[in-house]
Amino acid sequence: MLFKQQALLRQKLFVLGSLAIGSLLYLVARVGSLDRLQPLCPIDGRFGSRGQDEIQLRALQFKRGLLHEFRKGNATKEQIRLHNLVQQLPKAIIIGVRKGGTRALLEMLNLHPAVVKASQEIHFFDNDENYAKGIEWYRKKMPFSYPHQITIEKSPAYFITEEVPERIYKMNSSIKLLIIVREPTTRAISDYTQVLEGKERKNKTYYKFEKLAIDPNTCEVNTKYKAVRTSIYTKHLERWLKYFPVEQFHIVDGDRLITEPLPELQLVEKFLNLPPRISQYNLYFNATRGFYCLRFNIVFNKCLAGSKGRIHPEVDTSVITKLRKFFHPFNQKFYQITGRTFNWP
């Protein structure tokens, strides 16, 4: 009898203990997210006067509690009506460059309470079939957001596709355009690595990078190879400049985003006229991944998928030297046009 009572007591204590630990964990988690719900500092002159570009802070403060569901596209009709949620055309687009770190940039910007990302690459402007479906089709692909949040999408193919600048201009001539670049030879090898992995997945063989990047007849850089062409940033940018002034572009240093993301993100916040809300707390280095990962609050964090940060194959140093020499004059022109200089060899 006594033994039974003791067992019952132990059971009760166990349940109470679990409840207490659960509540404690919940509170800790709440404090983490509440921390990010603190009222925001008033916008000062740095962000300009109230206007089209300004993000209403009222909207930001509500974001955290509800956004998780909206992002997943789960907003119910009731929620949409209650919170005046809308699907908005993007105010900023990450137009490229493929393998520059476009996904990392989008995900990191999405840490900002005023930013809502379109998760998928929409390929509206570079794909004729999609483009023919019209702007309403594009808008319907956007996530739900508060009217004063900004939507950002990324489709790296936009940067190199001929028709895209004019098409985006027709949608919104004052849109903000983000380009993330890496040292051109590294980017080209990263591009090659992605294609190589795709071939390997299908059990196909593929050429070595050296064979593709160098023309065997001339022994010069093969400018017909897409991975090389994409890295001639200035050539593509010049096409964009026929439609948009240089001030409408912001160049992100993709190499620095890997090693030191916060200052790069702060520059983007400024460019987008957003109050500075992304902090070191939101970014932590994950030694296993070898990259920075994202921390939303004390319980919710994530690293990018394993397809980001592949190991590159070793490339013949003479080929690397040749490529770097080839890109050099284009890089100089790129620095000159954009006003952003990199230490690329």
Residues flagged as binding site: 99-103, 182, 190, 292, 308-312
87 or 117, CB closer to ligand A3P?
A: 117
* Long-range interactions of 130-134: CB distance < 8 A, separation 24+: 131/163, 131/167
How many Å apart are CA 131 and CA 123, to the nearest integer?
Answer: 8
The CB-of-318 to ligand A3P minimum distance in angstroms stands at 21
* Long-range interactions of 18-24: CB distance < 8 A, separation 24+: none
How many Å apart are CA 259 and CA 254, to the nearest integer?
Answer: 9
Of the candidates 344, 331, 341, 343, the one whose C-alpha atom is nearest the C-alpha of residue 231 is: 331
H or E stretch at 82: helix 77-82
Q: Which two tokens stand for residue 296?
A: 């939303």
Q: How far is CA 296 from CA 33, 72, 270, in A?
A: 8, 16, 21
75 or 188, CB closer to ligand A3P?
A: 188
- Cα 4 from chain centre: 60
Helix, strand, or coil here: 94? strand
H or E stretch at 19: helix 2-35
Helix, strand, or coil here: 309? coil
How many Å apart are CA 294 and CA 97, to the nearest integer?
Answer: 22
Which residues lie across from 327 on neighbouring strands? none
The CB-of-10 to ligand A3P minimum distance in angstroms stands at 47
258 or 337, CB closer to ligand A3P?
A: 258
Q: Which residues does the annotation place in the binding site for 3'-phosphoadenylyl sulfate?
A: 99-103, 182, 190, 292, 308-312
100 or 275, CB closer to ligand A3P?
A: 100
The CB-of-294 to ligand A3P minimum distance in angstroms stands at 8
158 or 292, CB closer to ligand A3P?
A: 292
Q: Which two tokens stand for residue 225?
A: 């190879």
The CB-of-328 to ligand A3P minimum distance in angstroms stands at 21
Which residues of the chain form contacts with ligand A3P (CB under 6 A)?
98-104, 156, 190, 257-258, 291-292, 304, 308-310
Within 10 Å of residue 11's Cβ, how many Cβ atoms?
10
Catalytic position from the list 63, 91, 99, 117: 99
**Phi and psi dihedrals of 100, rounded to 5?**
-80, -15
75 or 122, CB closer to ligand A3P?
A: 122
The CB-of-308 to ligand A3P minimum distance in angstroms stands at 4
333 is catalytic: no
Which residues lie across from 273 on neighbouring strands? none
The CB-of-5 to ligand A3P minimum distance in angstroms stands at 56
Q: Which amino acid is at 307?
A: S
Residues with a known catalytic role: 99
